[in-house]
Homo-oligomer: A and B are copies of this chain.
Amino acid sequence: MRNLQQKLAIARGEQPAELLFKNARLVNVLSGEIHRTNVAVDDGRVVGFGDYRARRVVDLRGSYLAPSLIDGHFHVESSMLTAPEFARAVVPHGTGAVVIDPHEYANVLGLDGIRYVLESSKKLPLDFFIMLPSCVPATPLETAGARITADDLRLMIGDDRIAGVAELMNFPGVFLGAKSELDKIDAGKHKCVDGHAPGLRGKNLNAYVLAGVRSDHESVEVEEAREKLRLGMHILLREGSTERNLAHLLPLVNAHNVQNCSFATDDKLAGDLVNEGHIDHCVRKAIRLGLPPISALQIASINTARHYRLQNLGAIAPRFWADMIVVDDLKKFSVRQVYKKGVLVAENGEFLGWIPAKIGSPRGTMNLRYQPGDFAIRAVGGKKIKVIVIVPQQIVTRTAIVAPKVEDGEIVADTKRDILKLVVVERHRATGNVGVGFVRGFKLNRGAIGSTVAHDAHNVVVAGTNDADIRFAIQQLERMQGGQVAVANGKVKAALPLPIAGLVSDRPLPEVVRGIADLNLAAHALGCELAAPFMTLSFLSLSPIPALKLTDQGLIDAVKMQRTTLFATA
Is A260 interfacial (CB 8 A cutoff)?
Answer: yes
Q: Is the CB of B12 within 8 A of A256?
A: no
Is A244 interfacial (CB 8 A cutoff)?
Answer: no
Q: Is the CB of B30 within 8 A of A207?
A: no
Q: Is the CB of A256 within 8 A of B257?
A: no
Q: Pick the contact of A11 from B203, B260, B306, B317 — CB < 8 Å?
A: B203
Q: Is the CB of B318 within 8 A of A12?
A: no
Separation in Å of the A254 CB from the closest CB of chain B? Answer: 7
Is A421 interfacial (CB 8 A cutoff)?
Answer: no
Count A-side interface residues using an 8 Å CB cutoff.
Answer: 56
Stretch at the interface among A44-52, A277-285, A387-395, A447-455: A44-52
A206 contact set on B, CB distance < 8 A: 11-12, 40, 47-50, 318
Q: Is the CB of A31 within 8 A of B315?
A: no
Is A531 interfacial (CB 8 A cutoff)?
Answer: no
Q: Which residue of B lies closest to A204 (CB)?
A: B12
A498-546: which residues lie under 8 A (CB-CB) from chain B?
A: none
A314-351: which residues lie under 8 A (CB-CB) from chain B?
A: 315, 317-320
Type the 1/0 row for A201-212, where 1 means its CB is closer than 8 Å to any CB of B: 011101101111
A181-208: which residues lie under 8 A (CB-CB) from chain B?
A: 182, 202-204, 206-207
A211 contact set on B, CB distance < 8 A: 4, 8, 319
CA distance A8 to B207 in the complex (A): 5
Q: Is the CB of A30 within 8 A of B230?
A: yes
Copies of this subunit:
2
Q: Is the CB of A5 within 8 A of B182?
A: yes
Q: Is the CB of B260 within 8 A of A30?
A: yes
Is A367 interfacial (CB 8 A cutoff)?
Answer: no
A49 contact set on B, CB distance < 8 A: 206, 230-231
Is A226 interfacial (CB 8 A cutoff)?
Answer: yes
Is A62 interfacial (CB 8 A cutoff)?
Answer: no
A203 contact set on B, CB distance < 8 A: 11-13, 48, 50, 52
A292 contact set on B, CB distance < 8 A: 256
**Contact A257 to B12, CB < 8 A, known contacts A7-B210, A232-B320, A317-B231:** no
Q: Is the CB of B210 within 8 A of A47?
A: yes
A256 contact set on B, CB distance < 8 A: 31-33, 255, 258, 292, 294-295, 298
Separation in Å of the A314 CB from the closest CB of chain B? Answer: 10
Q: Is the CB of B318 within 8 A of A232?
A: yes
Q: Is the CB of B231 within 8 A of A5?
A: no
Separation in Å of the A181 CB from the closest CB of chain B? Answer: 11
Q: Is the CB of B230 within 8 A of A35?
A: yes
Q: Which residue of B lies closest to A210 (CB)?
A: B318
CA distance A327 to B310 in the complex (A): 37
CA distance A204 to B48 in the complex (A): 9
Is A251 interfacial (CB 8 A cutoff)?
Answer: no
A89-105: which residues lie under 8 A (CB-CB) from chain B?
A: none
CA distance A30 to B206 in the complex (A): 15
Is A564 interfacial (CB 8 A cutoff)?
Answer: no
A202 contact set on B, CB distance < 8 A: 50
| Further 18 A-B residue pairs, CB within 8 A, beyond A30-B260, A210-B319 | A4-B211, A8-B175, A8-B176, A8-B177, A11-B206, A30-B231, A30-B257, A31-B226, A31-B257, A31-B260, A32-B254, A32-B257, A47-B207, A48-B210, A49-B206, A231-B317, A256-B292, A306-B306
